[in-house]
Chains A and B, each alone.
Chain A
């Protein structure tokens, strides 16, 4: 077994330190070392997006990042989305639109949607579908999810302008 690596990072705005093996993925570190079980393991090979998190402002598949790589970086996971007594507008929109069933894909979709709306606050339906192509859902179907993201975009832009 290779020596463990000591990693200092920021997760959801809080400084975090952990030890991991060089081979541990960021997904494994989040779930097994840090007990942040929001990000899910679907395929473990980059195809399903259930493990999506935001790394230094970019959407990534945490199953394809090594835990050791996040030294000095910033990670956002679904756990950081809601405020203590208030869901994030994207979460509200998913509930309103019944955009989830089993929910395994949901944390990934929420983070992918957040990354999209950070970059493009007023996406078209086509923009949303293209952006979310790497996130798979096996039960809900995509129409409700796309609708939810478009609704969230609308709510968030009226909140900003209000």
Chain B
């Protein structure tokens, strides 16, 4: 996890994402609602990222490019991301000694992203890769 700003990422479910998921995961609408990260205003400024621009999130488990969203609240060092196949790429698959699989909170490095937001097709291809 080299480079970028270290953030604690918390996943959540949003109503608009729930709606798009019911419509189907392969739609642009689902991607627009899922492949986003809500960032603190100061974090965005220091990263040099504007709302709507791509942000690369990386952990030891994987990385994705999602769109930046300006959070209405102040929460420096913390980012919020819809629980989705995009956030799942960043989660650790290690089951703790207590047998618990952490799906809500993880540390990630965030940096200005290059290129397009990761597509669901790219995620599927990564899962199917030999």
A and B are partners in one complex rather than unrelated chains: no
